[in-house]
Structure 1
Amino acid sequence: MKSFDKLIVFFVVIMIVLTASVDHILLKDRGETSGYYLVEVNRVKHRLDAGEKVSADDFTAITGIYDIDADDEAAFDSKREYVICKSGDRLYRIEYDDKTENGSRRSFVAVNIAFIAVTVIGLAVLLYLRSKMIKPFNRISELPYELSKGNLTDPLKEDKSRYFGKFVWGLDMLREKLESSKQKEFEHAKAEKTMILSLSHDIKTPLSSIKLYSKALARGLYTDPQKLDEIYGSIGEKADEIERYLEEIIKHSSDDFISFEVENRDYYLSQVIDSVESFYQSKLSLNGTELTLENYTDCLIYGDPDRLTEVLQNIIENAIKYGDGKNISIVFSDEEDCRLVTVKNSGCELPKNELDHIFDSFWRGSNTNGKQGSGLGLYICRRLMNSMHGDIFADINDGYMFVTAVCRKS
């Protein structure tokens, strides 16, 4: 902000200096003589010799033409510059003003007005930029740093600027999203820890009983067959109890750990396909990969266009990562009340017997060696498509991978 204020001051100073310099040149030029009056004096004399009536108004440098008497000394005592010329038997005093004014005062005033106008307009533009762009941007410039430190509680002030209003609104939405995710993560971690502590405590009771029975049996404290059968049965019950607790722990561990917010509504499929195509046409052209888009008829789809875009992007990114980079195509088909969007890529090395697992969380196929990934991409795709009342499935045929998103028609 201070740097921009210095720029404004610098601009004003430069304009003042330029204006003063031009004024100095103009004033200096006005004080110089050009000798043009000699030309006009000769014209006057020529017209007088021709017997014409001459007026000073007909000339630029001539200010007066007077018929004088040679014996009149006062005629030669003039405060103006003049020359005496003779035409016929008479003498004439021709007064002149030969100061060069380059359009004179009007030019001087016009130049100054022009410089003032440029200064005012430039200053207005700079002040407008300061108010509408620099000041709002300066207010949010610290936000990324604050977000990186985890300071998510302070909301951003609303800004109605046409340039940064939507940007500020988006950043505040991002802040709220991060704050919400942080809170959910904290609550999830707290619940998980509480659950584990509770189940661990519950496991201790049957485990202690089993240990006591095992020690008693090891020492031969029970010899009665009926009592032994009772103890064996009790050990089995305690083991079953521990198994139930372990199943509960496994169940909680496998619960969904990612929350998905989907805003379903009606939208045209082309809205998503055009966005995906425009993005990947330029990206894939740099990689030398051909992207083919099959002709299709547009239709209304029910779901979240942003989430469907995310699904197709995840599928295409997998096609780029695990394909041979030769060709990726998007094809369309219809099935009952659904539109099927299939991403097909060549060079698939995934064994067909692993297809059942590719939508599981944290699962990575045997073709992922040396390639970074978390094993969550297709899992997220499945969750999103289910949230949009759709589905997703995959197939492999002749070295081609087919991943199809099933979108419900509106």
Structure 2
Amino acid sequence: MSTFRKLAAAVILLFIAMIAGLNIYLLCSVNDSGIYRVEAKRLADRIEETGSTDISGFPHLTGVYSGEQLYRSDEHYLIIEAGGTPYRVEYTVSDKNRTILAVDLVMGALFLLVILLLIFIRRHIVVPFGRLNKVPQELARGNLSVPIPEEKSRLFGKFTWGVNLLREKIESDREKELSMQRDKKLLLLSLSHDIKTPLSAIKLNAKALARGLYKDEEKRRSAAESINSRADEIEHFVSEITKAASEDFMDFEVTHGEAFLSSIITRLSDRYAPQLSVSGTEFSIDSFDDCILSCDPDRLAECLQNLVENAIKYGDGRRIGLSFDKMDGCELITVSNTGCSLEEKELPQIFESFHRGSNAGKVQGNGLGLFICKRLMSLMGGEVYADIRDGCFCVTLVVKMA
């Protein structure tokens, strides 16, 4: 806020200085009074040549007199001589004060507009923004109860509404995460307790067999079957633990709708074409037949962005391309990049969560990009698959057409 006040004060002072400087310039500038001398000289030449005293072609001259009226005037005049006869030539002088007044009126109107504009910016942008500047910090600290003031301004109304939605989403995700962690903890505690019973039975039967307590073959066989049965129970519990640990940890929301393929590709091109051009990477988009896709436009764009980001991180930076095809009522969108160093045997695992290929190296990442793509495409009724063609890594999204 203080910065804006300083900026506004500087603008106002600069404007006042401009007005003062313009007034000084107008006061000190040479007016057009010298023009009448030129016109008087031209009139004298005409009188000598033609004898005519017509002044219709001289806008700054108002009259020509000679004889007895030579010096009878209260107007501005000068004396010229033509053909040996003196003439009194009256002329007009521009009113400098009126010019300065007109300029001051125009500059005053502009100054008033600047003041109104600064007031508008302060009231509708600076002040609302000042009320919101602490909200992101509080959200980052985990304070989800921070008040978010409502704004009726069209400039900030949607922004505050969006921030409020963000807070609600963070709060909802936190509650889901806590609930999930609590349920998993209870499940693990319950399963670990249940494992103890068959484990104890296994240990008792194993000790009895080891010490030769069972002399009868039938009892030894029964003890072995009991160990096998209890091991099956433990295997079942381990499967439950594995299942609980591998449950989806991310909640995806998809809004089904329709979108033109061209609009999705335009969004992608506008975002990455300038960036890749600067880095020297060729970004090619093959020609395609525009069609209407049955999808969530934002989620489909997110999938394509994930694929392009992967191509930037794991490719060799020479070329990233988009190609298109149609098959069985679906649009196939393929993102490819040169410099693939992934082995084909790893392709079945690349869509698993937290999986990182052998080509990851020191590239930062968490192994979720392709996993997210697969989940989103599945929720939109589509599919995604990857393959390697001529040293290029290719990922294809299969999107249903409307």
TM-score by length of 1: 0.75
1:337: Cα distance to partner?
Answer: 0.8
Aligned residue in 1 for 2:383: 391
* RMSD of aligned Cα (Å): 3.3
Q: Deviations over 1:45-104 (max 9, x none)?
A: xx99943398776459xxxxxxxxxxxxxxxxxxxxxxxxxxxxxxxxxxxxxxxxx958
Mean CA deviation greater in 204-213 or 133-142: 204-213
1:205: Cα distance to partner?
Answer: 1.6
Aligned residue in 1 for 2:170: 178
Aligned residue in 2 for 1:123: 115
Q: d(CA) in 1 for partners of 2:65 and 2:340?
A: 107
Tell me, yes or no, if structure 1 residue 51 matches structure 2 residue 68: yes
Q: d(CA) in 1 for partners of 2:315 and 2:65?
A: 102
Q: d(CA) in 2 for partners of 1:322 and 1:123?
A: 54
Q: Note the 1:219-230 alignment, pairs <5 A.
A: 219-230=211-222
Residues 229, 271 of structure 1: CA spacing in aligned structure 2 closer, same or farther, 3 A cutoff? same
For residue 213 of structure 1, the aligned residue among 202, 205, 208 is 205
Amino acid at match of 1:52: Q
Aligned residue in 2 for 1:358: 350
Q: d(CA) in 2 for partners of 1:250 and 1:366?
A: 25
Query: Structure 2 stretches of 5 or more lacking a match?
Result: 28-63, 78-93
Mean CA deviation greater in 308-317 or 242-251: 308-317
Mean CA deviation greater in 167-176 or 240-249: 167-176
1:217: Cα distance to partner?
Answer: 4.0
For residue 301 of structure 1, the aligned residue among 293, 297, 300 is 293
1:334: Cα distance to partner?
Answer: 0.7
Q: d(CA) in 1 for partners of 2:252 and 2:23?
A: 70
Aligned residue in 2 for 1:40: none
TM-score by length of 2: 0.77
Q: d(CA) in 2 for partners of 1:333 and 1:24?
A: 72
1:330: Cα distance to partner?
Answer: 1.1
1:222: Cα distance to partner?
Answer: 3.9
Q: Is the 8 A contact 1:334 1:340 kept in 2?
A: yes
Q: Secondary structure at the match of 2:126?
A: helix
Mean CA deviation greater in 217-226 or 233-242: 217-226
Residues 184, 25 of structure 1: CA spacing in aligned structure 2 closer, same or farther, 3 A cutoff? same
Aligned residue in 2 for 1:326: 318
1:9: Cα distance to partner?
Answer: 5.6
Aligned residue in 2 for 1:263: 255
Mean CA deviation greater in 112-121 or 256-265: 112-121
Q: Is the 8 A contact 1:8 1:126 kept in 2?
A: yes
Tell me, yes or no, if structure 1 residue 284 matches structure 2 residue 301: no
Q: Note the 1:72-151 alignment, pairs <5 A.
A: 103=95, 113=105, 116-151=108-143
Aligned residue in 2 for 1:77: none
Tell me, yes or no, if structure 1 residue 339 matches structure 2 residue 331: yes
1:302: Cα distance to partner?
Answer: 0.4
Q: Is the 8 A contact 1:155 1:172 kept in 2?
A: no
Larger Rg: 1
Aligned residue in 2 for 1:381: 373
Mean CA deviation greater in 175-184 or 186-195: 175-184
For residue 183 of structure 2, the aligned residue among 186, 191, 197 is 191
Mean CA deviation greater in 49-58 or 251-260: 49-58
Q: d(CA) in 2 for partners of 1:25 and 1:312?
A: 62
For residue 247 of structure 1, the aligned residue among 239, 243, 248 is 239
Q: d(CA) in 1 for partners of 2:164 and 2:316?
A: 41
Q: Deviations over 1:326-362 (max 9, x none)?
A: 2222111110110111122222222222222221222
Residues 227, 182 of structure 1: CA spacing in aligned structure 2 closer, same or farther, 3 A cutoff? same
Residues 155, 302 of structure 1: CA spacing in aligned structure 2 closer, same or farther, 3 A cutoff? farther
1:263: Cα distance to partner?
Answer: 0.9
Mean CA deviation greater in 161-170 or 107-116: 107-116
Q: Is the 8 A contact 2:139 2:146 kept in 1?
A: no
Q: d(CA) in 1 for partners of 2:312 and 2:323?
A: 17
Amino acid at match of 1:194: L
Residues 243, 8 of structure 1: CA spacing in aligned structure 2 closer, same or farther, 3 A cutoff? same
Residues 282, 209 of structure 1: CA spacing in aligned structure 2 closer, same or farther, 3 A cutoff? same
1:176: Cα distance to partner?
Answer: 2.3
Residues 291, 207 of structure 1: CA spacing in aligned structure 2 closer, same or farther, 3 A cutoff? same
Aligned residue in 2 for 1:33: none
Aligned residues with identical type, % of pairs: 44
Q: d(CA) in 1 for partners of 2:24 and 2:292?
A: 73
